[in-house]
Amino acid sequence: MIDVVFYFQVHQPYRLRKLQPHDKLRRLNYWDTPLNKLVAERVAERCYIPMNKLLLDAIERTDGQFRCSFSLSGTVIRQLKDWVPEALDTFVALAESGNVEFLCETSQHSLAAVGNLDEFAAQIEIQRKTVTDLFGVPTSFRNTELIMDNDICKKVEELGFDCMLGEGADRLLDWRSPQVPYRPKGCERLKLLLRSYSLSDDIAFRFSNRQWPNYPLFADTYADWLHDVPPPAQFVGLFMDYETFGEHQNEQTGILEFMRHLPGLVLEDKNFRFRTPAQVCSEREAVQELNIDVPVSWADEERNLSAWLGNPMQQAVHDRLYAMREDVLLASKTRPELLANWRELTTSDHVYYIATKHHSDAEVHDYFSPFEHPHAAFVTVMTAIDDLQAQVQKCLLTKAVTIVPAFQSPKPQSKKPKSSKSQSPISGKVRTTSPKSPKKATVNKASDRRKK
């Protein structure tokens, strides 16, 4: 029996307004709310609502044999709650069917896994609560853009997950099959399910490409391809962006009709069934250990981190952002909105737009970017970071801190009346001791550092 595992990634970022260094920013007004609302409403109308109905129909038509899985980023969940709640309701309906698994990820679809593992864990806990409240307790995990390495997998296991999704990159697997479960090196319990990238991309990217030799692709042809997967296949991981259906490839391409017929055609072969990631991991054993010593993702031809950290501009944004974390956490005790905005800036899309790739990779980056060119994206995000850092420092510097003097031997008491002011043995500054007129002392700023 071979398991067909459909996994759909659902994500929309909070896009930034096109900012310039001379712009006067007020009240953390970084975000292009009209554009974000427009995109959320459009994608919900073209993709989320019709496709969710199609999948519910597929579950009914197959008497519950069709199954699939989703991961909704925290950013898209908040957008749907605010602007298209009826679309979010259709995802809840899928969860209530009992045939659809919802995975956990980072709340901001961020690069925290390679920026700061403490932040990675914090965002996962935020997202775990969100997913639990809406869809049920998640036991499987997918990281942003399927980014993984040994350390990330180990952290995911420590956080209590049993199953994780990854990319079946050739350079990672060499001669091995992506269609069997693996155990990441250093893990004891976590099982890894990999993406069959060629079969996944036939739907996600090539389906509407008229230059593709297999265009047009029909559901019966694709079902035959699945039925012909060679041994030792135990499952076929079909992982893709959900916006593939109706948004990236519109309904006129026939892609929704393709998905309407595919489940029944796959099930015509009794050796095939649909399963969720959690089911595969509970029913099958890892065949061997997999050493992921270099990060792997599902992005671009390289399938590494170059989509987000491939040039000096991207690296500068990434380093600057995560170096601020300790100060932001300290400042958030009095101004929590600073942390909220900082976390939105960790969304991976902001550095994705700064990529300077070529050929087909560049076309994909340009398609998603709201900016005319990568340098405009860089100026915008650095302007927002500069402003946020200035507000964080202002918050820290205006916060009153009591300075504790170093120990000194007691001096003989003077018979003169005590003054209301005294000399600080540390700062050398006059410190007011009267509670009616406190003198604010400067805070020692938390040292910028980046935790690996």
> Catalytic residues, which ones?
145
The first and second tokens of residue 335, run together, are: 């101004």
| Size of the chain, expressed as the number of residues it contains | 452
C-alpha to C-alpha distance for 427 and 401, rounded to whole angstroms: 13
C-alpha to C-alpha distance for 13 and 243, rounded to whole angstroms: 13
Are 317 and 385 in contact by the 8 Å Cβ rule? The answer is: yes
Are 443 and 399 in contact by the 8 Å Cβ rule? The answer is: yes
Are 40 and 31 in contact by the 8 Å Cβ rule? The answer is: no
Residue 24, beta-bridge partner list: none
Sign of CA dihedral 368, 374, 379, 381: positive
Are 2 and 234 in contact by the 8 Å Cβ rule? The answer is: yes
Q: Helices 117-135 and 85-96 meet at what angle, rounded to 10?
A: 80
> How far separated are the first and last CA of the chain, in Å rounded?
42
Are 44 and 87 in contact by the 8 Å Cβ rule? The answer is: yes
Are 192 and 235 in contact by the 8 Å Cβ rule? The answer is: no
Residue with tokens 């001096």: 411
C-alpha to C-alpha distance for 345 and 334, rounded to whole angstroms: 20
